[in-house]
């Protein structure tokens, strides 16, 4: 058996000014041919699970590409065609099965539905070759994705700590079909709800209940069942929630099951909206929590600068929340992280121990929000300089090597605040963001993270409390700040739905 195994992943924020070209994929991880297999074989990623199962079957494995970029703006035509072309070419050369590790929210300059278009091309060159797909929980699922593969599944956890598990499940479904032991049929239900990412944590309601229902369907005998929260920072017609169920030879049963999931999501639609709070009120609560203890005595208080989360396409250089934290006088704070390659160069030239004055962050404008970049003038001491490389040891992306690029730690406000400054975008979902630069996160009173929910993978066990800070940025949870023009209608919360 010859199996094509490939990964092509990007969560596209159409409001983000960040250009997603091949260089951005290279910054996170871009591998072609055998190097792709080597890079992911021992990881807890869907591609890793695929490779292990193929090896167990004695299959010949072809890995044309493994590509992922940190979320950002629209993917360039060249990047899309290079990556998709490599996969299509490998499948066209002949194979017995295809296993794909995709995201489900890729938007390219010339293709609004990146994954659907890839699968359409694969079906055109190999109409009878079975294809299985793993997608992110934030997939904006389309009819094209479902129609052009044989089995599709999404993560059931956010933060995504079950990537290998769901990859293995859908690969086993495909192999069972090849072996004549299953007849996968899929039912798809778009759900007209644009949910807020901050309301999709699977340890919390309403997503917790939806995931429980999907697991119950699998326990009843369905081959796979998924509820997608969708990715709301994409101005495309298919943005929003969806559900898909893979049945075994019974389309009617799969259809009834997927409607169970869709109806439950529609009934909980109000719970998917994030309630906002004035920043000054949230900082008052944070200060009170910090005064009550922290650090080694009781664990840090987590502060979330969620509107500037590069894990959803944020610029990661908006300084408003950081400035407010410093002005409020919070002490013993570690910030992870600010993207500013120029500031890192300045600190590297000065050297460890040097005092520097610089304008940190605020280098990127956000035209979609009508916001100009506003640097923060700071004077501090260069505490650490590193290459920004570490291997993830936590439960999400386990075994993957992270490249933050040249990285520095700037100690400001008399040492009360330490800011990790990176040359590549990276969301702080693993403690390595801090430990790789000599900061012990568990010993801090506050951890200020540019994250939404993924931080829980590495930091939830440390946190004494979490405070969400509503700042500015292209990952805002305030729909009123985003100029949507292409969404399907009706769509909640913009319209009434049944």
pLDDT tens profile 324-342: 999 999 999 999 999 999 9
For residue 294, the model assigns a pLDDT of 53
Helix (H) or strand (E) holding 207: helix 207-219
Q: Each residue of 90-127: pLDDT tens digit?
A: 999 999 999 999 999 999 999 999 999 999 999 999 99
Strand partners, 66: 7, 31
Confidence band for 480, pLDDT divided at 50, 70 and 90: confident
Number of other CB atoms surrounding residue 48 within 10 Å: 26
Residue range 438-457: average pLDDT?
97
Q: Give the chain's mean pLDDT.
A: 97
157 burial level (CB within 10 Å; 0-12, 13-18, 19+): buried
**What is the rounded end-to-end Cα distance, in angstroms, of the chain?**
48
Is pLDDT above 60 for 364? yes
Q: Where are the alpha helices (DSSP H) in 320-474?
A: 320-328, 341-350, 432-435, 455-459
Least confidently predicted of 5-14, 289-298, 449-458: 289-298
> What percent of the chain has pLDDT above 90?
97
Q: Each residue of 225-281: pLDDT tens digit?
A: 999 999 999 999 999 999 999 999 999 999 999 999 999 999 999 999 999 999 999
Confidence band for 291, pLDDT divided at 50, 70 and 90: confident
Q: Each residue of 407-430: pLDDT tens digit?
A: 999 999 999 999 999 999 999 999
Number of other CB atoms surrounding residue 415 within 10 Å: 12
For residue 436, the model assigns a pLDDT of 98
Is pLDDT above 90 for 29? no
Residue 5's φ and ψ, nearest 5 degrees, are -120, 125
Helices 46-57/163-178 angle, 10° precision: 40
Is pLDDT above 60 for 219? yes
42: which 2 tokens? 């021992």
Compute the Cα dihedral for 239, 240, 241, 242 and give only its sign: negative
> What percent of the chain has pLDDT above 70?
99
For residue 479, the model assigns a pLDDT of 87
**CA 366/CA 362 separation, integer angstroms:** 10
For residue 297, the model assigns a pLDDT of 54
**CA 146/CA 446 separation, integer angstroms:** 44
Residue for token pair 């944020």 = 314
Q: What angle do CA 389, 439, 423 make, to 5 degrees?
A: 40
Total residues found in the chain within this entry:
498
Q: Each residue of 118-173: pLDDT tens digit?
A: 999 999 999 999 999 999 999 999 999 999 999 999 999 999 999 999 999 999 99
Give the domains, in start order, of the chain with CATH numbers: 2-272 (3.40.50.2300), 279-476 (no CATH)
Confidence band for 293, pLDDT divided at 50, 70 and 90: low
Residue range 359-378: average pLDDT?
97
């Amino acid at each position: 058996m010859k199996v094509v195994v490939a990964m092509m992943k990007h969560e596209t924020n159409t409001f983000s000014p960040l250009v997603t070209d091949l260089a951005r994929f290279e910054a996170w991880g871009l591998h072609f041919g055998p190097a792709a297999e080597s890079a992911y074989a021992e990881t807890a990623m869907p591609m890793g699970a695929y490779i292990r199962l193929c090896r167990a079957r004695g299959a010949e494995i072809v890995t044309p590409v493994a590509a992922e970029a940190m979320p950002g703006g629209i993917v360039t035509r060249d990047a899309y065609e290079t990556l998709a072309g490599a996969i299509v070419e490998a499948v066209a050369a002949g194979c017995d099965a295809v296993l794909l590790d995709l995201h489900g929210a890729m938007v390219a300059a010339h293709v609004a539905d990146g994954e659907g278009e890839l699968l359409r091309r694969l079906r055109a060159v190999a109409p009878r070759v079975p294809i299985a797909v793993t997608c992110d929980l934030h997939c904006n699922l389309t009819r094209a994705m479902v129609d052009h593969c044989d089995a599709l599944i999404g993560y059931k956890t956010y933060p995504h700590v079950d990537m290998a598990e769901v990859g293995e499940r859908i690969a086993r479904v495909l192999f069972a079909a090849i072996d004549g032991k299953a007849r996968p049929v899929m039912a798809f239900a778009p759900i007209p709800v644009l949910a807020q990412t901050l309301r999709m944590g699977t340890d919390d309601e309403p997503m917790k209940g939806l995931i429980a229902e999907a697991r119950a369907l699998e326990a009843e005998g369905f081959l796979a069942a998924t509820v997608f929260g969708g990715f709301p920072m994409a101005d495309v017609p298919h943005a929003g929630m969806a559900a898909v169920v893979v049945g075994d030879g019974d389309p009617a049963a799969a259809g009834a099951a997927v409607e169970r999931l869709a109806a439950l999501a529609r009934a909980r639609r109000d719970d998917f909206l994030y309630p906002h709070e004035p920043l000054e009120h949230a900082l008052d609560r944070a200060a009170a929590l910090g005064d009550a203890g922290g650090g080694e005595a009781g664990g840090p208080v987590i502060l979330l600068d969620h509107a500037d989360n590069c894990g959803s396409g944020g610029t990661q250089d908006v300084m408003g929340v950081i400035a407010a934290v410093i002005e409020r006088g919070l002490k013993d704070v570690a910030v992870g992280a600010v993207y500013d390659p120029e500031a890192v160069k300045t600190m590297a030239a000065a050297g460890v121990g040097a005092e520097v004055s610089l304008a940190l962050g605020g280098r990127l404008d956000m035209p979609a929000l009508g916001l100009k970049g506003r640097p923060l003038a700071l004077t501090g001491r260069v505490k650490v300089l590193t290459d920004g490389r570490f291997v993830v040891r936590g439960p999400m992306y386990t075994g993957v090597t992270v490249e933050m690029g040249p990285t520095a730690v700037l100690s400001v406000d008399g040492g009360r605040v330490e800011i990790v400054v990176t040359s590549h975008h990276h969301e702080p979902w693993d403690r390595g963001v801090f430990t790789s630069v000599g900061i012990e996160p568990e010993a801090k009173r506050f951890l200020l993270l540019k994250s939404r929910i993924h931080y829980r993978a590495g930091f939830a066990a440390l946190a004494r409390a979490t405070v969400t800070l509503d700042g500015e940025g292209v990952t805002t949870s305030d729909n009123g700040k985003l100029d949507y023009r292409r969404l399907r209608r009706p769509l909640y919360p913009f319209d009434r739905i049944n």
